[in-house]
Chain A
Amino acid sequence: AQSVAQPEDQVNVAEGNPLTVKCTYSVSGNPYLFWYVQYPNRGLQFLLKYITGDNLVKGSYGFEAEFNKSQTSFHLKKPSALVSDSALYFCAVRDTNSGYALNFGKGTSLLVTP
């Protein structure tokens, strides 16, 4: 079985400061990992993915994420937060031993204050 945990319901950060949104996963095979962002009353937008290779992946809007196999984590990061980054962030995993559906975490609300 595959699962994703986002331990923080909300993350607050001041504009200009670095941000981290945490994600841990559990799979039986190898993971494909994804981050999505959701703005109010909108669908999910793809940010970045880890498939294989370099543990640090870069994505849209200056976001990056670090894959850590030993800690089964895939934390989302950004060096300098913007107020416009305030949104819901979802981590998702696909277990290569399972089907093609992504399993999502419950989400983390990011609030960036001026």
Chain B
Amino acid sequence: DTGVSQDPRHKITKRGQNVTFRCDPISEHNRLYWYRQTLGQGPEFLTYFQNEAQLEKSRLLSDRFSAERPKGSFSTLEIQRTEQGDSAMYLCASSFVLGPGELFFGEGSRLTVL
């Protein structure tokens, strides 16, 4: 399978715990994006990388959130001290550097904070 893969697909955690999501982009893609989607809403941009450089962060990305892409391949999104408001679907996408930049999305990681 050459699509974007995300792991885990579903995570249930208790408030205050830390969680980490992993994303493996399409191998030829240099850009990698993280979005958050809550019920009834469209995806909201969190951050994106070009290779290993984090080039843009949304103000939605509070200091409890951190994303890395250490070798320019896979990426991780960590949420520290989770809150119930963090419950959402976390979507990863990737794209080519060249061209208009349509994004190709993974299936998402659903976070439920109890």
Quick one: CB contact mask for B83-102 with A, threshold 8 Å, 1 for yes?
Answer: 00000000101010000111
Asked if A99 lies at the interface with its beta carbon under 8 angstroms from chain B, I say yes
Q: State the CA gap A90–B104 with chains docked (Å).
A: 14
B42 touches A106 (CB 8 A): yes
Asked if B103 lies at the interface with its beta carbon under 8 angstroms from chain A, I say yes
Residues of B within 8 A of A106 (CB): 40-42
Q: Who on chain B is nearest to A104 by CB?
A: B42
Asked if B31 lies at the interface with its beta carbon under 8 angstroms from chain A, I say yes
Asked if B108 lies at the interface with its beta carbon under 8 angstroms from chain A, I say yes
Residues of A within 8 A of B106 (CB): 43
Residues of A within 8 A of B103 (CB): 34, 44, 46, 102
Task: Give B residues with C-beta under 8 Å from A.
Answer: 4, 31, 33, 35, 40-45, 48, 50, 55-56, 58, 91, 93, 95, 100-108, 110
